[in-house]
Structure 1
Amino acid sequence: MILKVTLSRKRYTFQSVKDVMAKANEEKSGDQLAGVAAATMQERVAAKIVLSQLTLNDLYEHPAVDYDRDEVTRLIIDDIDAEVFSQIKNWTVEQLREWLLALDTDNQMIHTISRGLTSEMIAAVCKLMTNMDLIMAAKKIINEKTANTTIGLPGTFSSRLQPNHPTDDVRGIMASTMEGLSMGIGDAVIGVNPATDSADNVTAILNRMQSFIDDWQVPTQTCVLAHVTTQMAAIEKGAPAGLIFQSIAGSEKGNTAFGINAHLLADANQMGHDMLETTGPNVMYFETGQGSELSADAHFGNDQVTMEARCYGFARHYDPFIVNTVVGFIGPEYLYDAKQVTRAGLEDHFMGKLSGLAMGCDVCYTNHMAADQNDIENLAVLLASAGCTYMMGVPQADDIMLNYQSTGYQETATLRALMGTSPIKPFADWLERMGITRDGQLTAHAGDASLFLNHVADGTLI
C-alpha cells in the first residue's frame, strides 16, 4: 500500500488511509474546520492519485472508525457479502470508478457488486468522480422500496409533503397538506417535523392526517418526525403512523448524540413490522446530512463525505423505505456556499443509491450561507437528472418552523414536466380521479386547497 506520490518534482506523503481519504475530498468548509482538508489544490490532486491506486481490500482493512470500538463499523462490515467482496477485493478504486461508469455496466450488475462494498469504498470512489460522473453513475441505479406504495420505480419522481407549523396547529398543518396534495405533492410521504416532541402531540397530528387520508383515500404514508422513542410511545398507544423516522450519524458516538443506538433502531424496525398498518416490508425513514458527526465531535478525524457514506451503510442494515440527505441544513461551517452544497448533494445521492437505498434529497440552505434559491434550483435539476427518488415539498419553499429554505410544491411539478416523470402510479391515478391532473398534466385545480373543503362554517377542515 503506497501512500506517497511525486507531482511536478514535489513529494507528497500521507500518514494513513484516513489522511488520503480526507485530503482527496473536494473542498468543504467542514473539513477545513476539522483540520483534515488538503492545504492546496495540488495536495488534493496528489491524494486523489494515491487513493485511485488503493485496493478495495486496503479500504476494508482500514475502516474510518475501528471495528472494536464502533457498532456502525461492525454493522457495515458484517453486512457485506463476503463472496462478492472476495471477487473484487483486489480492484483499485480507479477500477471501480471505471467499471461503474462503463456503458455496459447496468443496474443489476451494480446491485450485485454493491453487496460487497463497505461505506469507505463507496466514499472513496465518490471522491474520484466529477459532478457529471456522480450524475451518470447514480442514474443507472434503481432502488425500489414498498410501504403502502412502491417508490423508486423507473420514470417516477416523488415528493415528501412537509407541512410544518411553528406551533403544531393541526389546522395549519392540514391547510398546507391540502395545498400540497392539490399540486401533486406527497406521494413519498406526508411528513411533519413537530415543534413539540411528545407522544400526545405526535398522536394528535397522526390521527388528524390519517383521518384525512382515509376520507379522501390518498395512497401514501404518514410520519411525524419526532425522536424515534417518542414515535414508539405514540404507536404503542395506537397512533396510526405509516413510517418510523430517525436522524442518524456515521459513528456510534454520533448516534449517541442523537439519543439512539443500533439496538433501539432494530426495536423500532420490528415495531414497524408488527404494529404499523403499512402493507409493504419497508417501514423506516432516515435522514442524514454532511457535517453532523463533526458537530458532535464524533468524526474521529475523518472527512465529512466518508462519515456521510457510513450513514448509508448503517441505514441499509434496516432496509428503510426512504432516506434523504438534508444537504445545506447545518450551515456554512460545513458547506460554505452553493458550489459546496451542489457537490455534497450529488455526492450524497450517489453514495446512498450505491448503498441500495431509495435516496432523496432535501435541497436546502440556511440564510447565512452564500447561496440563494437559484442555486437550489440548479441542484434540484441536477439531482432530477441523476434519478433522485424524491425531494421536499415545503409551502413556498420556506419552512417557517425549521427556519430554512428548501424546495416548494412548484419545483416538483416543474421537474416532472422537464424530465418526463410522474408520481408513484397509485398516487398519479388518484390525482386523475380528483381532477388535479388530466392525462398527467396539472389542471386548473392545481394549488387550490379548497378542493378538499367539505365545509368551513365551523372552521373544520375535512
Structure 2
Amino acid sequence: MKLKTTYLGKVYSFSNLKELFAKANEEKSGDRLAGIAAETVQERIAAKEVLSTLTLEDIRNNPIIPPEEDEVSRMIENSINERIYSSIKNWSIAELREYILSDNTKSEDLKRISRGLTSEMIAAVAKIMSNIDLVYAANKIEVITTCNITIGQKGTLSSRLQPNHPTDDVEGILMSIKEGLSYGVGDAVIGINPVDDSVENVKRLLHATHDFIREWKIPTQNCVLAHVTTQMKAIRQGAPADLIFQSIAGTEKANRSFGITAELLFEANELVRKEGTGTGPHRLYFETGQGSELSAEAHYNVDQMTLEARNYGFARCYDPFIVNTVVGFIGPEYLYNNKQIIRAGLEDHFMGKMHLLPMGVDICYTNHAKADQNDIEDLSVLLTAAGVNFVIAAPMGDDCMLNYQTLSYHDVATLRQTLQKQTAPEFNRWLLEMDIITEDGILTNKAGDLTIFNR
C-alpha cells in the first residue's frame, strides 16, 4: 500500500490511513481543532491523489478503528456482503468514483454495491468528489421507508415539522403545528425537542400530538426527541409514540457518552415494534452531525467526515424510518463558515444515501458561525436537487428553544414549488382534501390560516 506521492516537486508521505484520510478531507475547523488537518492546499491535493489510488481491499485490511476495539467498527464489518465485496475489492477509490458517477450506473446498481462497502470506503470516495459530484450521485439513489406513511419517492421532498416551545406549552406547540401543516410541512414527522426530559412531560407531549393527528386524520408520525431511555419508559407507561428517536455517533466511546449502546437501540427497536403506535415496518429516527465525536473526546484522531460516515454504517444496522444530520448546529468550532457547512451537508447526504439510509438534513447554523440565512437557503436548493428525503423546518426559521437558525415553513413550500417536488403521496392527498394546495401543488390562500383547524 503506497502512502506517498510527489506533487510540484515535493514528496508528501503519510504514516497511515488515519492520517491520509484526515489530510484528504476538505477544510474543516473541527479537523484543525483536532490537529489532524492538512497544513496546506498542496498537502490536501497530494493526500487526495494518494487516496484515489488505494483499493477497497487496502482500506478494509487497514481499519482506522479496529473492530476488536470498537462495537461500531464490528457492526460495520459484520454488515458487509462478502460476495459483493469480493467482486469489487480490487477497485481503486478513483474507479469507485467513476462507477458511481457513470450515466450507465443506476439506483439499483448503487444499492447493490453499497452492501459490499464499508463506511470508510464511502467516506474515501466522497473525499475525492466535488460538490456537484455529491449532488449528482446522491440524486440517483432512491431510498423509500414506511412508518404510518411512505416517504422518499423520487420527485418528493418531505419535511419534519419542528414546533419547539421554550416552556413545552402544549397550546403553543399546537399553534406551531397548525401553522406548519397549513404550509404543507410535516409529512416526515412532527417532532418536538422537549425542554423537560422527564417521562411525564414526554408522555404529555406524545398524547397531545397523537390526539391532534388522530383528530384531523393527518397522515404523518409523531415523536418526542428525548433520550431513548426516557421514550422507552413513556411507551411502557402507555404513551402513543410512532417513532423512537436517538442521537448517535461514529464510535462506541462517543455513543456511551450519549448514554447508549448497540444493544440498547436493538431493545428500543423491539419495544417500539411491539408497543409503539407506528404501523411500520420502520420505526426508528436517528440524528447525527459532524464533530460530535470530537466534542465527546472520542474521535481517536479520526477526521470528522469519516466518523460521520461511520454513523451511517451504525444506523443502517437498524433499518430506520428517517435519519438526519444537523449540519451546522454544533457550531463554528467544527464547521466554521458557510463554505464548510455547505460542503458538510452535501457530504453527509451523499454518504447517508450510499449507506441506503432515508437521509434528511437539518440545514442550519448557529448565530456565532460565519453564515447567514442566504447560505442555508443555497444549501437547501442544492440538497433538494440532490434528492434529499426530508428537511427540517421551524416557525420563521428560528428555533426559539434551541436558539439556532434553520429553514422556515415558507422555505419548504418554496423549495417544493421551485424544484417541482411534492410531499409524500398520502400527505399530498390530505393537503388537497384540506384545500391547502392545488392539484398543481401550489399553496392556496389557506397557507398560514390557522382557522382551517377550527371545528
TM exceeding 0.5: yes
Match of 1:458 in 2: none
1:412 to 2:421 alignment: no
Aligned counterparts of 1:145 and 1:215: Cα–Cα separation in 2: 25
Aligned counterparts of 1:79 and 1:276: Cα–Cα separation in 2: 27
1:354 to 2:354 alignment: yes
Please list, as runs of the form range in 1=range in 2, the aligned pairs for 1:313-462 lying within 5 A after superposition: 313-439=313-439, 440-454=441-455
Match of 2:240 in 1: 240
- Structure 1 residue 453: deviation in Å? 2.6
- Structure 1 residue 8: deviation in Å? 1.3
Aligned counterparts of 2:297 and 2:58: Cα–Cα separation in 1: 26
Q: Is the 8 A contact 2:180 2:395 kept in 1?
A: yes
Aligned counterparts of 2:151 and 2:310: Cα–Cα separation in 1: 23
- Structure 1 residue 182: deviation in Å? 0.6
Match of 1:457 in 2: none
Q: Is the 8 A contact 2:84 2:116 kept in 1?
A: yes
- Structure 1 residue 277: deviation in Å? 2.3
Please list, as runs of the form range in 1=range in 2, the aligned pairs for 1:299-314 lying within 5 A after superposition: 299-314=299-314
Aligned counterparts of 1:277 and 1:413: Cα–Cα separation in 2: 29
- Structure 1 residue 38: deviation in Å? 0.3
- Structure 1 residue 64: deviation in Å? 2.3
Q: Is the 8 A contact 1:176 1:395 kept in 2?
A: yes
The more displaced of 232-241 and 442-451 is: 442-451
- Structure 1 residue 34: deviation in Å? 0.3
Aligned counterparts of 2:444 and 2:401: Cα–Cα separation in 1: 30
| 1:438 alignment partner, SS class | coil
Aligned counterparts of 2:419 and 2:165: Cα–Cα separation in 1: 31
| 1:441 alignment partner, SS class | coil
Residue identity opposite 1:382 in structure 2: L
1:41 to 2:31 alignment: no
Please list, as runs of the form range in 1=range in 2, the aligned pairs for 1:201-350 lying within 5 A after superposition: 201-350=201-350
Aligned counterparts of 1:149 and 1:323: Cα–Cα separation in 2: 16
Aligned counterparts of 1:436 and 1:101: Cα–Cα separation in 2: 39
Residue identity opposite 1:447 in structure 2: G
- Structure 1 residue 422: deviation in Å? 0.3
Aligned counterparts of 2:238 and 2:63: Cα–Cα separation in 1: 42
Aligned counterparts of 2:433 and 2:232: Cα–Cα separation in 1: 35
Q: Is the 8 A contact 2:243 2:283 kept in 1?
A: yes
For structure 2, list consecutive stretches of 5 or more residues without a partner in the other structure: none
Aligned counterparts of 1:7 and 1:180: Cα–Cα separation in 2: 53
Aligned counterparts of 1:380 and 1:441: Cα–Cα separation in 2: 19
Return the TM-score normalized by structure 1: 0.98
Aligned counterparts of 1:399 and 1:98: Cα–Cα separation in 2: 41
Q: Is the 8 A contact 2:156 2:424 kept in 1?
A: yes
The more displaced of 152-161 and 54-63 is: 54-63
Aligned counterparts of 2:144 and 2:24: Cα–Cα separation in 1: 32
Runs of 4+ in 1 over 3 A off after TM superposition: none
Q: After superposition, give the CA deviation of every residue in 1:343-393 in whole Å (9 maximum; x if it has no partner).
A: 000000000000000100000000000000000100000000100111011
- Structure 1 residue 442: deviation in Å? 0.9
Match of 1:102 in 2: 102
Q: Is the 8 A contact 1:64 1:306 kept in 2?
A: no
Aligned counterparts of 1:239 and 1:327: Cα–Cα separation in 2: 31
Q: Is the 8 A contact 1:291 1:334 kept in 2?
A: yes
| 2:122 alignment partner, SS class | helix
Residue identity opposite 2:131 in structure 1: N
Aligned counterparts of 1:38 and 1:430: Cα–Cα separation in 2: 51
Q: Is the 8 A contact 1:328 1:335 kept in 2?
A: yes
1:7 to 2:7 alignment: yes
Aligned counterparts of 2:324 and 2:63: Cα–Cα separation in 1: 24
- Structure 1 residue 438: deviation in Å? 1.8
Aligned counterparts of 1:26 and 1:387: Cα–Cα separation in 2: 23
Residue identity opposite 1:408 in structure 2: S
Among all aligned residue pairs of Structure 1 and Structure 2, give the percentage whose two residues are the same amino acid.
58
Aligned counterparts of 2:277 and 2:237: Cα–Cα separation in 1: 14
Task: Tell me the matched-pair count.
Answer: 454
- Structure 1 residue 104: deviation in Å? 0.4
Q: Is the 8 A contact 1:60 1:118 kept in 2?
A: yes
Q: Is the 8 A contact 2:363 2:376 kept in 1?
A: yes
The more displaced of 54-63 and 296-305 is: 54-63
Match of 1:459 in 2: none
Q: After superposition, give the CA deviation of every residue in 1:200-245 in whole Å (9 maximum; x if it has no partner).
A: 1011011011111111000000000000000000000111001000
- Structure 1 residue 180: deviation in Å? 0.3
Aligned counterparts of 2:394 and 2:61: Cα–Cα separation in 1: 43
Aligned counterparts of 2:203 and 2:251: Cα–Cα separation in 1: 31
